[in-house]
């Protein structure tokens, strides 16, 4: 319990809701009205939380544990790919991709890249004001999307796994940690409102504005700089409103999100072909992915304490 007392209950609750959002996205997509305003912001919320937990130096022990968990999954994925005679590609290299996988495999590489570049981001923010750094990250992210939109040779995996996609979310998470959730709410709320308006127009209107409503990758559902303040505000509001929340046993599930995410990649690659009943598949997805994530975490933790 002494270790749990040092954890922030609202953060583990947010992670629990976010991983549930990931499962929902991979079951029904992001087309349900209103989905983009809550469950479809799961990955941006995770990136804000990554920024909140950013440190000045890399925790190599923690990174090693994360990579070992991925590598165990990679071996299983590689065996399946070989059995199914999947064509050889860069996914056959253990660099954060999986040879045989369902949706979401890009996030593993994205996660490792963010961990590796986080000290650089941490040092850069010490040299710039908040406004200048946020503006710089927005411009870099926007230009990356413009180049991707105009390029026919840039692969989807390269785009999806590039840290520039979520650099603004990452930095906003750092600001919430540095200044406090209330500071963020007081000063950034109108940016969040603009982000919400953009998300609404992007997903529910018929407008087509050049260089604003791109169709490729993250822009198709609003995971970009224009939308970054919305998930950041969700994090800040949750932390502020639940600041006195007591830690409970159910929040243990929020600590399993990394392993649940890894497990669900293979789950969605295999089991949708065998379970045709939607209600049964929904129940089994939540039960099996959390149970599989727990078993997976226990096995991987035995190798690295």
Compute CA distances 184 → 126, 202, 210, whole Å.
18, 25, 31
288 within 8 A of 123, measured Cβ to Cβ: no
State the Cα–Cα distance between residues 282 and 3, nearest whole angstrom: 33
Average pLDDT score over residue span 43-65: 90
Interval 174-179 mean pLDDT: 94
Q: How many other β-carbons are positioned within 10 Å of the β-carbon of residue 297? A: 19
Pair 195, 15: CB distance under 8 Å? no
Averaged confidence pLDDT in the chain:
87
pLDDT band, very low/low/confident/very high, at 136 (cuts 50, 70, 90): very high
pLDDT at 288: 95
Residue pointed to by tokens 């059995």: 83
The pLDDT of residue 173 is 96
pLDDT at residue 154, as a whole number: 62
Residue 196's Cα: distance from chain center in Å? 19
Q: Which residues are within 8 A (CB) of 243 and not within 5 positions of it... i.e. 6 or more apart?
A: 10, 181
Band (pLDDT 50/70/90 cuts) for residue 16 is very high
pLDDT tens per residue across span 254-295: 889 999 999 999 999 999 888 888 889 999 999 999 999 999
pTM: 0.91
Q: Report the Cα 190 to chain-centroid distance in Å.
A: 24
For 145, left (φ over 0), alpha (ψ -120 to 50), or beta?
A: alpha
Please tell me the least confidently modeled range out of 95-99, 157-161, 217-221, 291-295: 217-221
**Does the pLDDT value for residue 181 go beyond 50?**
yes
């Amino acid at each position: 319990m002494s270790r749990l007392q040092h954890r922030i209950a609202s953060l583990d609750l947010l992670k629990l809701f976010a991983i549930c959002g990931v499962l929902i996205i991979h079951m029904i997509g992001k087309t349900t009205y209103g989905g983009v305003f809550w469950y479809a912001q799961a990955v941006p919320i995770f990136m804000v939380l990554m920024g909140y937990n950013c440190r000045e130096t890399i925790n190599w022990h923690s990174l090693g544990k994360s990579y070992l968990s991925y590598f165990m999954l990679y071996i299983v994925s590689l065996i399946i790919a070989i059995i199914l005679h999947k064509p050889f590609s860069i996914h056959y290299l253990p660099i954060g991709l999986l040879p045989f996988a369902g949706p979401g495999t890009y996030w593993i590489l994205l996660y490792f890249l963010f961990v590796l570049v986080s000290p650089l981001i941490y040092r850069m923010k010490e040299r710039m004001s908040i406004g200048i750094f946020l503006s710089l990250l927005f411009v870099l992210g926007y230009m990356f999307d413009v180049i991707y939109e105009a390029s026919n040779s840039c692969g989807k995996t390269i785009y999806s796994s590039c840290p520039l996609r979520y650099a603004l979310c990452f930095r906003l998470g750092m600001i919430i940690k540095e200044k406090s959730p209330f500071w963020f709410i007081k000063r950034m709320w109108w940016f969040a409102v603009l982000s919400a308006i953009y998300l609404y127009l992007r997903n529910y209107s018929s407008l087509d504005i050049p260089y604003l409503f791109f169709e490729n990758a993250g822009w198709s559902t609003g995971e970009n700089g224009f939308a970054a303040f919305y998930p950041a505000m969700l994090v800040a509001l949750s932390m502020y409103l639940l600041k006195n929340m007591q830690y409970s046993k159910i929040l243990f599930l929020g600590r399993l999100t990394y392993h649940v995410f890894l497990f669900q990649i293979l789950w969605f690659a295999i089991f949708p072909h065998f379970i045709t009943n939607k209600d049964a598949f929904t129940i089994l997805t939540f039960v099996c992915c959390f149970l599989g994530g727990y078993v997976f975490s226990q096995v991987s933790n035995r190798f690295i304490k």
